[in-house]
Amino acid sequence: MNSAPPARGLPGAWDPDRPPGIGRRGLLRYGTASAAALLAAGPLTGCASPARAGEASALKVWDLFQGGDGMLMDEMIAAVSRGAEGFDVDRTILDWGPSYYTKLAMSAAGGRASDVAVLHLSRLAGYAPGGLLDPLDLDLLAEFGVGEKDFAPAVWKRAQHRDTVYAIPLDVHPFIVFYDKDAADEAGLLDPSGHLAPMGSPEAFLDAGKKLAEVTGKSGVLFGHVTDTAQSWRQFAALYAQTGASFTLPDGGPPKIDIDAAVKVVTFMKQLFDGRTNPNNLDYNGAMAAFMDGRGGMIMAGEWELPTFRKSGIEHLGAAPFPQVFERPAVYADSHSFVLPHQDHPDLARRREAHRYIAEIVKQSLTWASAGHIPAYLPVQAGPEYAKLDPQSSYAAAGEIAVLDPPNWFAGAGGNFQNRMCQPLQSALLGNTSAEKAVRQMVREADTLLRRPNPVA
């Protein structure tokens, strides 16, 4: 896969035939209401690493990693900053959420872009088409030991827009299941190797919930979705992809959704979370607390909750990709990736350093994996050190069957699309509406979003 035509003096960094990056007026020309769907203002915090960060020569890097992830990123930056060939990095940390994507878009549009930034891969469709990102130079990346062969095809495909690579994935962070190994073993749900056995059908998953409930004396499978703006969508998206049906959001609409497949999925979700064997009315924190207290044998959650579950004292914690119950394996996921925010006249030496930095950081992703994230860089994932990580290595296969949000400017992490999809799904799970009515409402919501003009187009 080749990158875009070379820039003036720097292959792949900028396509002179592409319309120039949009300005602030372009971002807001449809008015604040439309722009807010993509760009919602927010605060900025910052820190610098290592010691020489802040000098004119320092590579400017933006990300959204705070807390434990932020400390891991500090460790990775420190690792690539040692020695004569080490980097000078000026790292700025922005608040996660719409505010992050506001700052990222405005910096690219206003000529104040960082050299490297982190972007959820599910948001690429909202940034690459509008000229807010510059393509990556695959020849440069190859020079530094990183190429297409080093990433799972499912993830690499989503790093592209119109066959041009705009992102290099750092990780895959899937929606999976955690389980108490002791409870699962007593319920007869483990294979001979001590891992969660395949489900294979909706009936098998329903039966697993009943068996786990019998063992715990409380609940079987836990799922916190009430008041959460993404959880129900994550579960639905994984199951819907397992049916083999497509969920497509073509610009201008209408959405292309298999109604029968969607109704089948929501019907199963309602059966699974029946309010008896498995609670149907838990919020996110309630489900987390119930699992850590032993009031449920399994929980559906993001792999990023691994550090929390470890601290809880669960003696034998297991994890697995989201179980396959329909025709094909699929797991809902997203990916933190590195991108090059648009610069009108990029400095060639700094752009070269930006590519080298991205290549070196993804090679440090074993450190990143300690928090639960699956390294997107396959040489790290295939190494013996990663194989020793438990339970991380037990769900690594999720990266090969990852399904992200449909590519559209309003979809993706922190976007309004997930919120709009979750509202009818939550209503169905709570028993307030039927599966068919929930799906019809999802289609209407998607159609409404598709009729809105893209504020960065």
**Using an 8 Å Cβ cutoff, are 396 and 319 in contact?**
no
Torsion (CA) 52, 55, 60, 64 in degrees, nearest 10: 60
Structure tokens given for 110: 């206003």
**Using an 8 Å Cβ cutoff, are 416 and 37 in contact?**
yes
Indicate the range of 10-19, 30-39, 404-413 predicted with least confidence.
10-19
**Residue of 53 and 288 predicted with greater confidence:** 288
Structure tokens given for 327: 């025709």
> 24-170+335-363: which CATH topology?
D-Maltodextrin-Binding Protein; domain 2 (3.40.190)
Structure tokens given for 373: 């994230």
Gap between the Cα atoms of 456 and 39, Å rounded = 10
In this structure, are strands 247-248 and 171-180 parallel, antiparallel, or unpaired? unpaired
Domain range summary for the chain, segments of one domain joined by + = 24-170+335-363, 174-333+405-450
- Listing DSSP states for 405-451 in one string gives --SSTT-STTSHHHHHHHHHHHHHHTTSS-HHHHHHHHHHHHHHHHT
Gap between the Cα atoms of 269 and 428, Å rounded = 9
**Residue of 108 and 457 predicted with greater confidence:** 108
Residue with tokens 């059908």: 201
In this structure, are strands 247-248 and 89-93 parallel, antiparallel, or unpaired? unpaired
Which of the four pLDDT bands, split at 50, 70 and 90, describes residue 44?
Answer: very low
Q: Which of 363, 337, 340, 362 is nearest to 351 (CA)?
A: 340
Torsion (CA) 417, 419, 421, 427 in degrees, nearest 10: -170
The mean pLDDT value for 44-65 works out to 63
Q: Which of 236, 225, 411 is nearest to 330 (CA)?
A: 236
pLDDT above 90 for 41: no
Which of the four pLDDT bands, split at 50, 70 and 90, describes residue 51?
Answer: very low
Torsion (CA) 78, 83, 85, 87 in degrees, nearest 10: 30
- Provide the CB-side half-sphere exposure for 95 (13 A, CA): 10
Structure tokens given for 429: 């799970």
pLDDT above 80 for 25: no
Where b means 16+ CB within 10 Å and e means fewer, 138-169 reads bebbeebebeeebbbebbbebbbbeebbbbbb
**Using an 8 Å Cβ cutoff, are 330 and 241 in contact?**
yes
Gap between the Cα atoms of 2 and 14, Å rounded = 13
Domains 24-170+335-363 and 174-333+405-450 share a fold: yes
pLDDT above 80 for 414: yes
Taking domain 174-333+405-450, whether its CATH number is 3.20.20.70 is answered by no
Percent of the residues in the chain that have a pLDDT greater than 70, as a whole number: 87
Gap between the Cα atoms of 255 and 443, Å rounded = 7
The three-point CA angle 242-286-216 to 5° equals 75
The per-residue pLDDT for range 195-228, each reduced to its tens digit, is 999 999 999 999 999 999 999 999 999 999 998 9
Residue with tokens 């891992």: 195
CA distances to 230, 254, 443 from 248, in Å: 18, 9, 11
- Provide the CB-side half-sphere exposure for 396 (13 A, CA): 23
The per-residue pLDDT for range 90-124, each reduced to its tens digit, is 999 999 888 899 899 999 988 779 999 999 999 99
Helix axes 259-272, 435-450, angle to 10 degrees: 130
Residue with tokens 């992490």: 413
Helix axes 259-272, 202-216, angle to 10 degrees: 20
Indicate the range of 29-43, 149-163, 364-378 predicted with least confidence.
29-43
Where b means 16+ CB within 10 Å and e means fewer, 288-320 reads bbbbbeebbbbbbbbbbbbeebeeeebeebbbb
Mean pLDDT taken over the chain: 88
Beta strand spans in 64-120 (E): 89-93, 116-120
Q: What are the backbone angles phi and psi of residue 440, rounded to the nearest 5°?
A: -60, -40
pLDDT above 90 for 358: yes
Gap between the Cα atoms of 280 and 287, Å rounded = 10
Which of the four pLDDT bands, split at 50, 70 and 90, describes residue 130?
Answer: confident
Which of the four pLDDT bands, split at 50, 70 and 90, describes residue 27?
Answer: very low
pLDDT of residue 26: 39
Indicate the range of 33-42, 51-60, 150-159, 297-306 predicted with least confidence.
33-42
